[in-house]
Structure 1
């Protein structure tokens, strides 16, 4: 088995420095060098050389792997870890919101298990218990998740709207207007406001608990239009959205259109975008 393995090639591919040294030692051993000579060449104790050769002869290449280091035993028993996990998981799903910080978990362990943990070890323990520090998903205060089992999947189903410029738009302009004298504008509106954000909690990896979030906020509407060919823009900010405000915005576009040219405004298919808007 010793003669069939290319230890030099293994050493070149190995990223672990300790394991690479073991491969080099066995490469020298394969060439017939004495263990004392190998120790002198690699500046390693002869005891280590003897150990590596023995491990390889008895267990093959697997014997050269680093043994798993158990480290210091955990201060919590399996039952205590289970209780701590249940406490953190239950707290992350409370409807009233809030969050557990490292010091809170530190105090909980000291109070219930009479074990003192350094705060740095608290975070190490949380990772060991498969918890991560993540942002919650928000839900409306009036929504009862139990009555809407598919609420999360429904939130992910967003409709994609594609605005297309149809030839019918060109065909509907006055007959005397030449196509090269037509300015095509694209118009839309959006609502802007301020709203609080959700906080982070300790939760199981791969999960995102939902917490109640107030979703009411003060907002205003921004009407915007752009003529891409010239990069001209027209905007209007309003506290409400209706046909009258829309007409005001179309008037702005009309005033921005040079004399002798005709503006075609492409907009979405909102129910109140009717022919009446063309009369401004």
Structure 2
């Protein structure tokens, strides 16, 4: 038989009853009243009857109360199963995700859960199911996100310099061309939409292979699109070709959408029809070219992805006129959602300096 355990001496029965009246935890109040009876000279059996528990449970309450005071009588969270991965293994997993797979060693160009599970086994001899690994990866803050396009021959230093010097370039335009007007930052790009269309992911039963209509004809049109993320504005034309004439028409359309008291800085890539000597730039627009081979700096690329995934993919266009109608409908739908333009298009380096 175990030796008797005395209650700590810095409390008494009145103290515990007072705490029992104040607490909102019913279980804690019941335990406090049971131990108050012992303080008042009652036996452990009396406390057990009052608390509707066994003698051993009362002993456990006394141990917890002596160690942590009244807080020791509050139900704690069960510790649960020990995690499969240690802190060091989680850190190594995060590093592997950031680094990405090496194709000739890992056999894949992007990590899947099964690949990460195999990597953990080879590195640490730890076997983790895909469901558990998914929870671990998510707990580390990772999600499966769409990657931005990046040219393989990009000059990284030029991209960093463009971002760093952007406030100075805006200030120069404001001083030389804007003449005291408000500056609006616009981005411009083109997208080809055609009958040979894309197929996007869709919800379907696990194990099934969903289908989507796909055309092999080659009629197409081009959306000339521009957005002002800070204001949620957009301006576009649907044209049959990408050339200087089409670009001039688009500049006129952008100029119409610039506020009367504003001057627009139009950021776009260095395509031939963007830099042509025959380009007629309106007085309220200044063109600022992006560094070569840096499409990820242009948020209109993400606008095209959003429009294709929601309105322009998984369909068959009957004719060129049908392509134009769908392109116009998609762009008007986007214009009706200025918060979406702001969400997709804002960049810290362009709007928060």
Identify the TM-score tier after normalising by the shorter chain: 0.3 to 0.5
TM-score w.r.t. the length of structure 2 is 0.38
Q: Which has the higher helix share?
A: 2
Q: Which has the higher strand share?
A: 1
